[in-house]
Structure 1
Amino acid sequence: MNNWLWRIVLLLLALSLVACAGGTNEPRPIAVEPHQGGAEPVEVTVVVTAEGAAEPALMATQAPTAPTIAEATEEATEESPAATPEAEFEYYGANPYVETGMDRLSTFALDVDTASYSVARNYIMEGTLPPASAIRVEEFVNYFEQDYVNPDNVAFGIYADGAPSPFHRDGTHIMRVGIKGYDVAAEERLPTALTFVVDVSGSMSGENRLGLVKQSLQLLVERLRPDDTVAIVVYGDTARVALPPTRGAEQDLILSVIHSLTPEGSTNAEAGLRLGYQIANQAFIPGGVNRVVLCSDGVANVGLVDPAGLTEALRGYADAGITLTSVGVGMSGYNDVLMEQLANDGDGNYAYIDTLEEAKNLFVDNLTSTLQVIALNAKVQVDFNPDVVARYRLLGYENRDVADQAFRDNTVDAGEIGAGHTVTALYAVEFYPNAAGRVATVQLRWEDPQTHEVRELAGEFNSFDMAPSFDAASLRYQLDVVVAQYAEVLRYNPEAMQTSLSDLRVRAERLAAQLPADPDVTEFAQLVERATLLQP
C-alpha cells in the first residue's frame, strides 16, 4: 500500500479512537417504575406500600450565551453582595465520612432547588466570592442538565454510575445516584391556578428587584393557557388583592396589573402570604395545579418575621394541595434562609433570579417542571454493602437529612419532584482492598399527588458498574463531580482543601470544550476562571 494511503488509514483509526474515548458511557437505569397506562418494562418490581408495610423486593434551551469575563462588571455596585445590610444565609455544616460498620444507611429528602448556584454566580459576577454559608452542593449539581433518559412508559427511573475521583489519591470513587421523573408535554399540563404574591415594599425598588420580577412574571403569563387562572396579591405595610382570580385568556389585563406595581412601605411578608393563600384557596382547581408564586428579596420586618413562624402558619395549605414556588431577587439584605424554608415547607421549589435569562429558564423552558408536581414527600435511602464499602460521604443535602428509621414514616415531610425533573446526589466512597460486588441498594419512596398512594422503587449498583477511570465516565457525570468539588472549595470544606480553583479551571474548560452545545457549561467554566482571579 502506498505511503499516503497508510497515512489516511492511520488518521481514520486515530479519529475513531478519539470518538470512542472517555465520556461515552451513559448511565443506565438500575430500576424503573412503569407509567400508569403504559406497557410494563422488563425486570421491574413495583411495590405499593402503606405505612409499616414489609420491606420491598429489590430489582432491578437554548439558554443565553454567558457573558465573557471581560464583560463582567469589574466594580461592585450599590447592589453588590459587599454592600450593607448583608444577605442572610445559614451554614448547615458538611457531611462527614460514615463508617458502614456503624451506619450503612444514608437517607435524605430529594431537592430540586437551584437557588444556591444562582446566588453564588451573582456574587462572583459582582466581583466577590460568595460566603461559605451560601453554598449548598446539591443545588450546584442539580442546576445542570443530566443524561438520564427514561425508557418509554416509565414514570420514574433510578440511575447509578461511578468512577475513581480525580481529586483524591487514595482510591476514593465518586458514586452518582440519579432520579428521573416522567415528562409532561406542555399541552398535557393540568389546568393551573396561580396566585402571585409580590413584595412591593421599599426594599424591592430597583430594576434588579421589582423591575426584574415584573419582567419575569410577564414571561410566565405569556405561557399560560386560556383555562388557567391568575390572581395577584401585593404586600408592603399591608397586603391587598391587586387582581382577583382571572382567566388566562385575559392576558392584557393581567399584564397591565403586573406592570403597574410600584414599591411602597415596609415588608409585611406574613400578611402577604396569608392573603395570597386565602385567594389561592378560593381559586382552587380540584385535580389541577394550585400554586402560590412568591417573589421577594426575603426581607420581612413587619408581622411575623421568623421563618419557622411563617411556615407553621401556612403548612395546612400545603397539606391541602396548594404548593409554593419562592423566587428570590436582589442581594443586599437578601434573606436566603426565609426563602428556602418557605419553599421547603410549602411543598415547592426555590429559585433565585439574577437575570432575565434565569427567569426564562424557570418560567419558559421549564414551566411545566416548575408548576406540576408528580411526586410528593420523595425520599431516597441508600443501603451500602458493609462487605464492600468501608465508608462513604454524601456531598451536600445537609439540611435535607432524614432519620433512617423515618424512611417509611409517611408523616415525615420530604421533597417534591416536578414533571421531568432530575435529581442527583453524589457520594464519595472508599472500598475495602480487593472488595467487589454489590456497592449499594438505592431505594426511592414517594407519594402520588393524584391518588396519594405511597410507592417504592429499588435497584442495585455493583462495583463492576464503575467506570475504570474518571475520563472514561460520561461527560455529564464528570461535570457533576467537577461542579460538586467547585462548591466544596467555595465553602472551604476541609475535605476539598487539596483541590485549588486553578485545578478546577482546567477541568471546567475541558468540559466546556467537550459540551459546546450547553451554554450553562460554558458559563460555568467562565465562573470558575473568574473565581480563581478573585481568590485571595
Structure 2
Amino acid sequence: MSGGAIAAEPGATPGDTHVSYGVNPWTETSRDALSTFAADVDTASYTYARRVLQGGSLPPAAAVRVEEFVNYFKYSFPRPQPGSPFSVVMDAAPSPFSPGSHILRVGVATPAKSQQERKTANLVFLVDVSGSMDSQDKIGLAKKSLEILLSNLRESDTVSLVTYAGSTQIVLPATSVEKKDKIRAAINSLRVGGSTSMGSGLDLAYEQAMQSMRPGTISRVIVLSDGDTNVGPTSHQKILDIIDSRVKAGVTLSTIGFGMGNHRADLMEQLGDRGNGNNYYIDSLAAAQKLFSAELVSVLEVAAKDAKLQVEFDPSVVARYRLLGYENRDIKDGDFRKDSVDAGEIGAGHQVTAMYEVQLTDAAKTQPSPLGLVRIRHKQPDGHEAAENTFQMGGVPAASFEAAPSDLKFAFAVASFADMLRGAEDAQSWSLEHAIVVARTNAGNDKDRLELVELMPKARTLRPSKTTVAR
C-alpha cells in the first residue's frame, strides 16, 4: 500500500494527552471568500511526532497539527517591502495528488536579528521537578537544554531559576549571565520528587520576572515540564487565568515539553498561546541545540504581537478552498479588525506558512489569474494600536507542479504528510510514496529536510490495517 491516510489507531501513545480540533472543511468562495486565522510559529507537534515515529509508533492523529509540521522548516523569502515589517510569498501550482485541484502557499516572515542586535533578556526558567519528571528524557534533558541556552546568552542578560513540585522554590534569583558558573551550579543542583503544583510555580516565576523588568528589555518565563499537574490550581482555566493576569504587564511565557507517558500537550500549547509566547517540544540534544542556538533570537524577541492573517480569494478565480491546519487558530472574519481579539506572536526571524488546497473556476482554468491577496494585522511588541498591510499575489499559478518553486513543493510534501498522518478525509487517496519523492527531490542539502525524508518511510511501515478518518 502506498496511498491514503496513515493515522494511528486510538491509544497509540498511552498516558499522553492531546486535543483534536478537527479538520478544516471545504469552503465555497461565493459564500465566504475570507480565510482568517492567528499566526502560529509553534513546532511542538512536529518534534513530538518525530520522536514517536523514531520510537517505532505512529503519532496519535490529535497530536498532528499540519501548520507546526510546515513551520518547523525554513524557506526562502524576499526582503520586506518598504513600510512593512513582513516579507510575503504567495505561489500556487496544480496539485500532484488531486486532479482538478491546486495548492497555494501563503508565507509570511519577519527580518532576522543577530544575537548582538537583539534586546537584553531577563529570563525566568520555571522547571518542573515533580516525580513525573524523573527520567533522562525529562529532567535530564531539561537540564542539558538549559546549559545549551545559558551558553548562548549574553553577559548583559539575567537568569532566574524557579522550581515547582509539591511546593515552589526560588533556586536562583535574578543573576547576571556574567556569573555562568553560579547559574550552571544551580541548574545542576536540580533534583526531582513529589507531586506537581504548576499554578503556584507560575505565580512565583511571574513575580521574579516582574522584579527584573526594565524598559527596552525582554522579560520571559520559560516553562520546562511534561505538563502534568495534580496539586494546587490544577484546572486548565485556573492556570490560564494566572497567565492572563500577568501577561498584560508585558511578561511573555513560552513552554517546552519533555518526555512521554504523561505529556500534557494540550495544556502546554494553551499556556504558550495565552502567555504571548510559543510552544516547543524537545526530544533530543540536537533539538535543544537547534532551538537555543540557531533559533534563540526568534524564541526570545517578539517582532509582531497579536498577528492575524486574512487571505481573500477572488471568487472569479477560486471556486472553493480548504486550509490545511490552523484549526485551533481560527478567527472569525469579522474579528480581523477587532484588536481586542487575541492572536499570535511572531518572533524576529520567524516564518509563518499556510498551505491551501483550492479548486479553480471554469474561467480560471482556461485563463490563469492570481488567486487573491493576504492581509496582515499586528501590533508592535510594546504597542496597543494595530497596523495592517495588504499583499497581492504577484503572479499566476505555475503551469505544472514540476514547474513550481522548490519551497512550494517541499512545503506541500510536508503538509500532505501531516494530513495523511492525522487521517484527513481528503488525504485518503493521496500517495505517501509520491510525497516522499517530492520531499527528497526538494530537500537539497538542508539537514532538517533530509531528516524528514528519512522519517517519512517509517510511517509507511507502521501503517495500520484500518485507518481512522478525521473530519
- TM-score bin (small chain): over 0.9
Aligned ranges 1:71-470 → 2 under 5 Å: 84=14, 86-151=15-80, 155-169=85-99, 171-435=100-364, 436-461=368-393, 464-470=395-401
Measured in 1, the distance between the counterparts of 2:421 and 2:383 equals 42
Q: Which residue of 2 aligns with 1:507?
A: 438
Measured in 2, the distance between the counterparts of 1:283 and 1:319 equals 16
Measured in 2, the distance between the counterparts of 1:272 and 1:243 equals 14
Q: Percent identity?
A: 44
Measured in 1, the distance between the counterparts of 2:247 and 2:113 equals 22
Q: CA offsets per residue over residues 233-258 of structure 1, 9 Å max, x none?
A: 00110111000011111111001000
Alpha-carbon RMSD: 1.4
1:531 aligns with 2:456: no
Larger Rg: 1
1:481 aligns with 2:425: no
* Counterpart amino acid of residue 439 in structure 2: A
Measured in 2, the distance between the counterparts of 1:417 and 1:519 equals 24
Measured in 1, the distance between the counterparts of 2:153 and 2:441 equals 39
Measured in 1, the distance between the counterparts of 2:104 and 2:341 equals 27
* Alpha-carbon contact 1:439-1:461 (below 8 Å) kept: yes
TM-score (norm 2): 0.93
CA shift for structure 1 position 505: 2.5
Measured in 2, the distance between the counterparts of 1:430 and 1:83 equals 36
Query: Helix, strand or coil: the match of 2:239?
Result: helix
Query: Helix, strand or coil: the match of 1:470?
Result: coil
Aligned length: 450
Query: Helix, strand or coil: the match of 1:528?
Result: helix
Measured in 1, the distance between the counterparts of 2:389 and 2:80 equals 15
Q: Which has the higher contact order (CA 8 A, sep 6+)?
A: 2
Measured in 1, the distance between the counterparts of 2:284 and 2:396 equals 40
Measured in 2, the distance between the counterparts of 1:82 and 1:402 equals 31
Aligned partner (choices 426, 450, 453) of residue 495 of structure 1: 426
* Alpha-carbon contact 2:310-2:376 (below 8 Å) kept: yes
Measured in 2, the distance between the counterparts of 1:293 and 1:263 equals 18
Query: Helix, strand or coil: the match of 1:155?
Result: coil
* Alpha-carbon contact 2:109-2:352 (below 8 Å) kept: yes
CA shift for structure 1 position 308: 2.2
User: Structure 1 residues 182-191 or 404-413, which shifts more?
Assistant: 182-191
* Counterpart amino acid of residue 158 in structure 1: V
* Alpha-carbon contact 1:200-1:234 (below 8 Å) kept: yes
Measured in 1, the distance between the counterparts of 2:434 and 2:373 equals 33
CA shift for structure 1 position 178: 0.7
* Alpha-carbon contact 2:104-2:355 (below 8 Å) kept: yes
Query: Helix, strand or coil: the match of 2:109?
Result: strand
Measured in 1, the distance between the counterparts of 2:434 and 2:32 equals 33
- The runs of 5 or more residues in structure 2 that have no matched partner are 1-10, 465-471
Query: Helix, strand or coil: the match of 2:35?
Result: strand
Measured in 2, the distance between the counterparts of 1:501 and 1:189 equals 41
Measured in 2, the distance between the counterparts of 1:146 and 1:316 equals 36
Q: CA offsets per residue over residues 29-53 of structure 1, 9 Å max, x none?
A: xxxxxxxxxxxxxxxxxxxxxxxxx
Query: Helix, strand or coil: the match of 1:522?
Result: helix
* Alpha-carbon contact 2:80-2:88 (below 8 Å) kept: no
Measured in 2, the distance between the counterparts of 1:161 and 1:488 equals 20
CA shift for structure 1 position 152: 8.4
* Counterpart amino acid of residue 460 in structure 1: Q
- The runs of 5 or more residues in structure 1 that have no matched partner are 1-80
Q: CA offsets per residue over residues 38-78 of structure 1, 9 Å max, x none?
A: xxxxxxxxxxxxxxxxxxxxxxxxxxxxxxxxxxxxxxxxx
Measured in 1, the distance between the counterparts of 2:340 and 2:208 equals 27
Measured in 2, the distance between the counterparts of 1:251 and 1:535 equals 48
TM-score (norm 1): 0.82
Query: Helix, strand or coil: the match of 2:371?
Result: strand
